[in-house]
Amino acid sequence: MLDYFDNYVLFENPIPKGRSSKNKLQKGEFLIGMSWIYLIQFLILKFSKTPRIEAFVDLENYLEQDLSKIKDIYHRYHAGYLFYNFLFKFIKPKGVFLVCYYSNFGLVKACKKNRIPVLELQHGIVTKNHRAYNFAKTLNGPFTPDYFLSYGPYFNSIVKNGNLVLKKNTLNYGYSFLYEANKKLRKTDEIEKLLTKFNKVICITGQLENTDRKLLKLVGNVSDEFADICFVYKPRNKNNMVTFKEKSNFIKWEDINTYLLMKYCDYHITIYSTCAIESIALGTPNIAINIDNLYSAHLKDIIGDNEYNHVVDSEKELNKLLLRLSNTNYNNKMVVQSISNVISPMISKELFSNFFNKVVKEKSNHH
């Protein structure tokens, strides 16, 4: 976001124990660790009274459940609200950008109390089934953001139809992490060797261990038929316990950057990981294996009919597809363009400035 602002002072809050190097800070940027903020909130928790929850007993009776554990959670949220509300009496920002608003209710409420606009930056896949982004009517209350900055038009439509914010308060901002990562990715010697040795290199991004086992078993059987294709499995976590029989054209590569691998391989395979979308946005066609119908349930509506996204339901179908794709080459720019309805190019500085200035002006005029 620093690319979009001039004459700024940015306070960045990394997660507790998060590592951020001070030598990476640019002029006007300051770092305040969340560890300090959580410590202050902890002290407020200890020295403040447990807040009363209105109609709490009525809610328990209605749901016929013991909700006593909620009181501790509510107290923690209230401590966060007290802290930020106090802070904003002395420092009043023009706007607060956050991800995952439903994990920051205390901060959101303090912003609303002090007439500070709240802008949510999309941080993951937003769907029609995500309860935090779908309501019967627009709430516009003390706990929801005022504006939503999305990866692209598809997600904007979900938020608009889900009544999270007013329809005019969305922006196709783009996927900043992927955009920045893509600019910095460079082909390594190790990847070059694989691409030279084999006709095609296909990366497989892992997810949950139980689905990975099914996926790797299927790919393992297929790899026997395609000695000229190298299948590279990249587990989601380093402590992944999934094992399979490795061979010359079917390997596990734990310590490579996932996005680097996806960008420079010929195809990407997954079941229902969001890497399916990201690989296409990096210029690499995707092969979705619809094991247990998980692709259809999670990604089908998002990706839709995309000529660079191939969907198969079985080992036999994957065999046929790989035979067809073995001599096929794609234009990377066309692949990227095909997913622009989901992941837009990053917005220009001028458009972003116009949007943000309008946000600040609307908030001041409204109050």
Amino acid at 8: Y
Instruction: Find the Cα–Cα–Cα–Cα dihedral 123, 129, 135, 141, rounded to 10°.
Output: -30
Which of 33-47, 72-86, 263-277 shows the lowest per-residue confidence on average (mean pLDDT)?
Answer: 33-47
Q: What is the pLDDT of residue 21?
A: 62
How confident is the model over 83-101, as a mean pLDDT? 91
Total-model pTM? 0.84
Amino acid at 292: D
* Cβ-based neighbours of 152, under 8 Å, separated by 6 or more: 172, 174, 175, 340, 341, 342, 343, 344
pLDDT of 239 above 90: no
Q: What is the pLDDT of residue 303?
A: 94
- What is the per-residue pLDDT across 27-37, written as a single tens digit (0 to 9) for each? 666 666 677 78
pLDDT of 10 above 90: no
Spatial distance between the Cα atoms of 14 and 79, rounded to a whole number of angstroms:
19
Read off the pLDDT band of 139 (50, 70, 90). Answer: confident
pLDDT of 190 above 90: yes
Q: What is the pLDDT of residue 218?
A: 94
More confident residue, 172 or 33: 172
Q: What is the pLDDT of residue 24?
A: 64
Mean of the per-residue pLDDT values of the chain: 89
Contact 323, 346 (CB under 8 A): no
How confident is the model over 124-130, as a mean pLDDT? 87
Q: What is the pLDDT of residue 29?
A: 67
* Cβ-based neighbours of 184, under 8 Å, separated by 6 or more: none
Which of 15-24, 89-98, 114-123, 347-356 shows the lowest per-residue confidence on average (mean pLDDT)?
Answer: 15-24
- What is the per-residue pLDDT across 264-306, written as a single tens digit (0 to 9) for each? 999 999 999 999 999 999 999 999 999 999 999 999 999 999 9
- What is the per-residue pLDDT across 306-363, written as a single tens digit (0 to 9) for each? 999 999 999 999 999 999 998 888 999 999 999 999 999 899 999 999 999 999 888 7
More confident residue, 193 or 1: 193
Read off the pLDDT band of 244 (50, 70, 90). Answer: confident
